[in-house]
Structure 1
Amino acid sequence: MINPSDYSALFAKDGTVVRHADRPTPRYSLPRAIKNFRLLMKDKEDTSLVFKIYESLPSKQFMPRVAALGLSERGEDLRRTEPSLPEILDDHAELRKTPKGSLAHAYCDFMESEGLTAAGLVAEAESLGRPKYDDLVQWYGDRSRDTHDLFHVLTGYGRDALGEQCVLLFTHGQSPSQGHLLIGWAGSANIKSMVRGSKAPVMGAALQAKRTGKGAPQLIDQPIRELLKQPFDDVRRALNIPEPTQYQECHRIWKAEGIDPYDLLASEKSQGEALAA
């Protein structure tokens, strides 16, 4: 395995260094990660805690993945043809020119219904004030961030609490990371505890998401601009992404049990009041 310091001596064909010499080396600390996870459970809107968890649990395979893609011909081509994914993803007028039923239409439908933009995700990340470096690590990290909502669309996981945990575990299956694993599994266990007595297969949905991510080719490696033009169902088949049946079963059961998957706190409160009556 390459020594971390050696990555600052590796360059892509266009001169971009793999890892900038000034980029700090993350230090592994499970206690710090657990502390920040507990804080995240108290304030799920504080996205800075998510980054702190990831930084506390750096993956030994992260830099090899960055170098493998960034220095490959595929990586060179992606950086040349897709230098800024948010500009591509937020141009809905252009995306809507693709045939009906395309991934582009499904993506636009999702983002518009949720009131989201790729630029908004960038702004949220940059508001944390983390330093940026002109290296392949930055490119790889940005590309990972910018494909997050595409993961939602392709997998069928919504933006409810369980859907977000499933996307994290799908991402772990794609690119193993203890940070994704901690938040995904612990978050799913927390959801299960919030709906005590429910028959919904919460942990089954989490496990299926992880397996799906592992069985699918890495989305970050794919030419996103070309995928967007293709029929949605064809893309899912090509990427080996099946229907999220366990997640869908959770929603079906919760609906029958009178639980709102998009407002589990209210459901938890209602259950507590029922038990106290």
Structure 2
Amino acid sequence: MTGALQADLPIYDVRRPVLRLRPAKAWRHFQNLMKDKENTEEVFHIFESLPWRNLRPSAERFLRSARGQALRMREPNLPAILDDHAALRQMPAGSLAHAYCDFMEREGLTAQGLVEEFDRFAKHHVQFQDQFRWYLNRMRDVHDMLHVLTGYGRDALGESCVLAFTYSQQPSPAHLFIGYMAGLNIRRQVRSDAPVLKAVTEGKRLGKACPRLCEQSITELLPLPLEEVRRKLNITPAMHYREAHRTWAEMGVDPYDLLGKKLQKAA
């Protein structure tokens, strides 16, 4: 976002609409999401329907600080940094940078891809040119970094746990709504002793111990050893998530294919 470097941008454009809680709309979009879990646009609709009430004061507090302004100048466009894997691979082996590249390449993801999905959702929205927009973008752009730092995979439970973790960083009710509703859906799909809801609750607790990632200097963290970054951010292992995966493994259930659809197609 090159506009973030313009010194005359207001911190917050007061013409921005004030989002209100719309639980019925959130429920409708969640039902759509359950029909097609790859439709990220439904997630954006849910977040719009269940907004973080104190987002504006929290963002303004950071943006009015010297640290916030320094970070805005140093990292104006996080996806451009994160998608430059050639540069990231020049950093030390075992670093967060390498772990991030490994994860994104294995999953076939790019940071810009999430931006494009959001842009498709927001194409009919008015785009406000303020510093608040930079802050909103960073909250979105650190999502996959959280997967790497926490060890949560992109399986259904892993995504639920990341959302619960993120709730404690960016307390939009949408995080917990999707996280717990998806957890209940997992329990309904696969009857077992796997601690699914405990794993989601644990994610919320782990997120509370970690400073808000979108307000950290990602360029300073990337060259550091992954375990050092985790210690620095107080991120500890997700034990209930691991236990759920162990339980499913003993049952012969693939956590990335809870309904066995891949096996059905292969047959």
User: When the two structures are superposed, what TM-score results if normalisation uses the length of structure 1?
Assistant: 0.88
Asked if residue 205 in structure 1 is aligned to residue 212 in structure 2, the reply is: no
Q: Which moved more, 1:35-44 or 1:150-159?
A: 35-44
Look up the match of 1:119: 112
Aligned partners of 2:40, 2:144: CA distance in 1, in Å?
A: 16
Q: Does 1:193 align with 2:196?
A: no
1:238 corresponds in structure 2 to 232
Aligned pair partner of 2:100 in 85, 103, 107: 107
SS in 1 for 2:222: helix
Letter in 2 for 1:187: A
Letter in 2 for 1:181: L
> 2:156: which partner in 1?
161
1:89-130 deviation per Cα after TM superposition (whole angstroms, max 9, x unaligned)? 111111111111111011111111111111111111112224
5+ residue gaps, structure 2 = none
1:225-269 deviation digits (Å, cap 9, x = unpaired)? 0100111100000100011111111111101101111011327x9
Paired residues in the alignment total 258
Match of 2:70 in 1: 77
- 1:121-176 alpha-carbon deviations (Å, 9 max, x no partner): 11111122244221122111110111111000000000011100111000001121
Percent same amino acid at aligned positions?
Answer: 51
- The CA deviation at 1:17 is 1.6
| 1:91 and 2:84 correspond | yes
Q: Structure 2: which amino acid aligns with 1:18?
A: I
Kept in 2, the 8 Å contact 1:95–1:104? The answer is yes
Which of the residues 211, 214, 235 maps onto 1:217?
A: 211
On the 8 A contact 2:150/2:238 being kept in 1, the answer is yes
1:249 is aligned to 2:243: yes
* 1:258 aligned onto 2:252: yes
Alignment of 1:118-197 (within 5 A): 118-128=111-121, 129=123, 130-196=125-191
CA contact (8 A) 1:66 1:136 kept: no
Q: How does 1:9-88 map to 2 (within 5 A)?
A: 14-88=7-81
Task: Report the secondary structure of 1:264's partner residue.
Answer: coil
Q: What is the letter of the counterpart of residue 23 of structure 1?
A: R
Kindly provide the amino acid, as one letter, of the partner of residue 80 in structure 2. E
Cα displacement string for residues 45-81 of structure 1 (whole angstroms, at most 9, x for unaligned residues): 2222211211111222111111011111111011100
Shift of 1:13: 9.5
Measure the CA separation in 2 of the matches of 1:84 and 1:13.
13
Report which stretch shifted further, 146-155 or 131-140: 131-140
Cα separation, 1, equivalents of 2:43 and 2:132: 18
TM-score (norm 2): 0.92
- Aligned pair in 2 of structure 1 residues 13, 42: CA closer, same or farther (>3 Å)? closer
